[in-house]
Amino acid sequence: MKHRVLVSVAGQQEWLDIEADSVGAASARAALAGGRVLRVEHAEAKRVRVRVSYSQTVFLQEALTLLRAGLNVVEMMEALERKEANAGFRQVLGRLLSALREGSSFSDALSLEPSLFPPVLVAGVAASERSGGLAATLERYLAYDARINLVKRKVAASAIYPTLLMVVGGGVILFLIGYVLPKFSVILDGSGRQTGRATLMLIRVGEFIQGHPLGFFTMLAAFLGALAWLIFSDAGRRVALVQMARVPVLSDVFVTLGLSRLYRTLALLLDSGIPLVRAIDMTRGLVNSLQAAELAVATVRLRSGQALTESLAGTGLMPPIAESLLRVGERSGALADMCDKLANFLDIALDRKVDTFSRLFEPLLMSVIGVVIGVIVLMMYSPIFDLVGSVGQ
């Protein structure tokens, strides 16, 4: 297998093409030639795209364990690369390790993979490299990520039952329209009585489904594909969240969720040693467009010398409890701790709002589905009732 090896010879860097069975063998052959090995790559690596599958939480937990055990960053990355089972992520670790061997810092290496390592993590690592507390930073980030994921799971769990209701209800409605109604249409046609417009329209829809099953299932597959895109893809989730945030009942939930993430992330960044202005700039991607614009205004005020509470005054980023907590944090020098406490308050408020929404929405959804099914059944049977009545007369 051909490898490309970057070596340093007399202060000059050059690439060598070496045939070897493994990366280690290629590195050893290059070292025998008298150069210092900086990077080793498979010659075919750039032409082969391998799917990257990894858990950020697991990666950081393993990295933290190795750092606590006394390994340095390079040794830690070497150990993680050796044990990684996923070929795609192993290549990622290889690129990070190569960057470290070339003299890059750990934060610079992580920044080479922005799709895998978020800016908040990279910034925290960069700050810890100056203060010498990388393990503590990873530990804080893991705690932060666990809390953010807990809030996300709570919000997602509250949507499972309504989604199940809509799926089952939609299936029952499709069954009534696509299978049962066409059967009734035979009876109604044989009666010779005039059918109501609404009933006739539903019968025509059912006949279309039975007469064009391929077209119907194609449209159903397209709908399910669009739904899967909205749920499972990052771009789709962003579109879905933007549209749901416009619903008056849901907008308050999403605003509170955004503020909770904002202040929890701000607490993490400040605790990691990031300056306040830069930390505010980095959190703008966590909130909606209106809140991001307000953060931009707050950043300008901060740069002019105003305190954080004064900079956020008059914006939607200052919940009623926020001003008191942030002022205490500014006076005591514990702004990061107060931001974390504020995020806890917002999480409690978010739980209450999600619970209230679920208690109201689920019965309402059940009622709507029941009414729709009842109307369809009534439209099916009312002509038969009329027919039976006319026979009795």
- Residue after which a domain boundary falls, among 92, 117, 147: 147
- Claim to verify: residue 29 and residue 173 sit in the same structural domain: no
- Claim to verify: residue 87 and residue 202 sit in the same structural domain: no
- Residue after which a domain boundary falls, among 89, 119, 147: 147
- Total structural domains within the chain: 3
Amino acid 116: pLDDT: 87
Work out the end-to-end distance of the chain between its first and last CA atoms, rounded to an integer number of angstroms.
Answer: 92
Predicted structure pTM score: 0.65
Query: Please, what are the averages of pLDDT over each run of 10 residues along the chain (393 residues)?
Result: 69 71 73 71 55 85 91 89 86 86 84 85 83 83 86 78 84 83 70 67 80 85 86 75 72 82 88 85 77 86 88 84 87 88 88 83 84 80 63 52
Would 152 be classed as within a structural domain?
Answer: no
Give residues with Cβ within 8 angstroms of 67, minimum separation 6.
Answer: 73, 76, 134, 135, 138
Would 154 be classed as within a structural domain?
Answer: no
Would 112 be classed as within a structural domain?
Answer: yes
Amino acid 360: pLDDT: 82
Would 25 be classed as within a structural domain?
Answer: yes
Would 319 be classed as within a structural domain?
Answer: yes
For residue 369, how many C-alpha atoms fall within 13 Å in the half-sphere facing its CB?
Answer: 19
User: What is the domain range of residue 35?
Assistant: 2-47
38 with 98: CB under 8 angstroms? yes
φ and ψ of 333, to 5 deg = 75, 15
- Claim to verify: residue 81 and residue 202 sit in the same structural domain: no
Would 98 be classed as within a structural domain?
Answer: yes
Which long-range contacts link 94-99 to residues 24+ away (Cβ below 8 Å)?
94/23, 94/41, 98/6, 98/38, 98/39, 98/40, 98/41
Q: List C-alpha distances in Å: 229 to 246, 285, 352.
A: 20, 22, 30
Amino acid 154: pLDDT: 78
CATH number at residue 314: 1.20.81.30
Amino acid 207: pLDDT: 80
- Claim to verify: residue 211 and residue 342 sit in the same structural domain: yes
Amino acid 222: pLDDT: 92
At 17 the three-state DSSP class reads strand
Amino acid 169: pLDDT: 86
Q: How far is 91 from 40, CA to CA, in rounded Å? A: 11
- Claim to verify: residue 231 and residue 358 sit in the same structural domain: yes
- Claim to verify: residue 173 and residue 260 sit in the same structural domain: yes
Amino acid 279: pLDDT: 86
- Claim to verify: residue 8 and residue 67 sit in the same structural domain: no
- Claim to verify: residue 234 and residue 142 sit in the same structural domain: no
